[in-house]
Structure 1
């Protein structure tokens, strides 16, 4: 199965200059835990609810803090025509639960969440990815 058969196509984007309060409001209204961050028609980062909690609130940053100060600047992504098995293995390796989906021109076309994989596949890809994502530590560990 290809990524474009499972991904969510309706994706909202945060701006690096908007406040974390505005981004959090958007996340709440969409019932999502992350937003791609875009500027000048390109992805420049990802913002998660965990970024807001750990890099924002826990460090004393207020609601008017710009998204750029707490977002993850490294953008991991996948292509819409990639196989889901390949992408879920990558998600496990890099320990992320969602990836922006781009076309071959690197334009954002969707987002793939582990939940999307779980409800569209029956081969255990989501469970295997979750097992890898859930191992302690790793590149995205935010413990000192």
Structure 2
């Protein structure tokens, strides 16, 4: 049985407003023990901010986290998947785009979750257990001399 994004995603994702400060974002990340926060203006998804974005795009540039807004450091180019997509398709998309997490949207393009690469790999590994055990059990090819 193929699993869908909605089966492996983290639901109840906390978001942050683009007008909030980077300090607010960092505090929220620490409180939740997460690295990414989707950036929303009401229901509208605007981007994503990561702990790395804060460091690389702001702190390392000498910007004040108290006065610099999330909008100034966030990534606006979003990679997303629909919650009813097959996880193997999403895993390929993540590999192709070289992203470690992807936002999950419903078909109305409303944020419904987030999926980390680890979530997908774990789920894919569960599906491939039989195949993996079979390939491990096969006799190795003869050694070349």
Which TM-score band (shorter chain)?
A: 0.7 to 0.9
Which residue does the alignment assign to 2:117?
114
How far apart are the structure 1 equivalents of 2:98 and 2:45?
20
How far apart are the structure 2 equivalents of 1:55 and 1:69?
8
Using structure 1 for the length normalisation, give the TM-score: 0.82
- Conservation of the 8 A alpha-carbon contact between 2:104 and 2:111: yes
5+ long unaligned stretches in structure 1 = 126-144
Aligned-residue RMSD, C-alpha: 1.5
After TM superposition, where is structure 1 displaced by more than 4 Å over at least 4 residues in a row?
none
Q: Secondary structure at the match of 1:86?
A: helix
- After superposition, the C-alpha distances for 1:83-133 in whole angstroms (9 at most, x for unaligned) are 1111011101111111110000001111011122233331699xxxxxxxx
- Offset, 1:63: 1.4
How far apart are the structure 2 equivalents of 1:112 and 1:104?
16
- Report the structure number with the largest CA radius of gyration: 2
Which residue does the alignment assign to 2:97?
94
* Pairing 1:75–2:78 present: yes
* Pairing 1:37–2:44 present: no
Aligned residues: 125
How far apart are the structure 2 equivalents of 1:31 and 1:67?
18
- Offset, 1:76: 1.3
5+ long unaligned stretches in structure 2 = 129-145
* Pairing 1:19–2:12 present: no
Using structure 2 for the length normalisation, give the TM-score: 0.81
